[in-house]
Amino acid sequence: MFNLSIGSLYTGQLVRLGAIKPEDKDAFARWSNDSEYLRMLNFDPAIPRPAAYFEEQEKKDDENQRAVKFAIRLLEDDKIIGVTGMWVNWNHQNAWFWIGIGDAEHRSKGYGTDATKLMVSYAFRELGLFRVTLGVFGYNTRARRAYEKAGFTFEGTQREALYREGKRWDMHSMGILRPEWEAMMQAEQEASQEAVR
């Protein structure tokens, strides 16, 4: 069996997961003016929101026993570049995962993949979950590649579930089970040990 204690729960190769601070609401408000960001994040209509909206949202999330949420921060300067979280169903040991990289300049640089790997690890190591599930829109091929790198497997399609810009798009379901993640971690540890020899 591989050693689960290897590595930090919060720190990856490029980013760390941290607490959401009161001043982060300004970044959230700025990101809400980016329609690409909003359209990659969820089904809801893209609507810009003021900082006060996110302050209230954080209070609600703090009270919700199902929400697990982190800021994504750069290792080099602790700048917030995104947000990630899970809605946990404790009875069944599973969660619905989500992530958003806020500013366009931080997309397609591996930050989302690194944060996704951290969240999956957190789900299994700290929360004791068995399954993590997510949904990805058919047009978000960049996110799908990141999820595959983190170990998620394609599980199904809700055909034409989304309507944007006069076109219908599929919604794909992906998931990872604890045994799959453990096997992936075992393989990575063995490859690392082999490289040292």
Q: What is the pLDDT along the chain (197 residues), one digit of tens a residue?
A: 445 555 788 999 999 999 999 999 999 999 999 888 888 888 788 888 888 888 777 777 766 778 899 999 999 999 999 999 999 999 999 999 999 999 899 999 999 999 999 999 999 999 999 999 999 999 999 999 999 999 999 999 999 999 998 999 999 999 999 999 999 999 988 887 777 76
Question: DSSP secondary structure string, the chain?
Answer: ---TTSS-SSB-SSEEEEPPPGGGHHHHHHHTT-HHHHHHH-SS------HHHHHHHHHHHHH-TTEEEEEEEETTT--EEEEEEEEEEGGGTEEEEEEEE-SGGGTTSSHHHHHHHHHHHHHHHTS--SEEEEEEETT-HHHHHHHHHTT-EEEEEEEEEEEETTEEEEEEEEEEEHHHHHHHHHHHHHHHHHHH-
| Structure confidence at residue 194 (pLDDT) | 78
Give the per-residue pLDDT at 1. 45
CATH class of 15-196: alpha beta
In this predicted structure, what is the pLDDT of residue 179? 97
User: What residues act catalytically?
Assistant: 147
- What is the per-residue pLDDT for 38? 86
pLDDT number for residue 62: 65
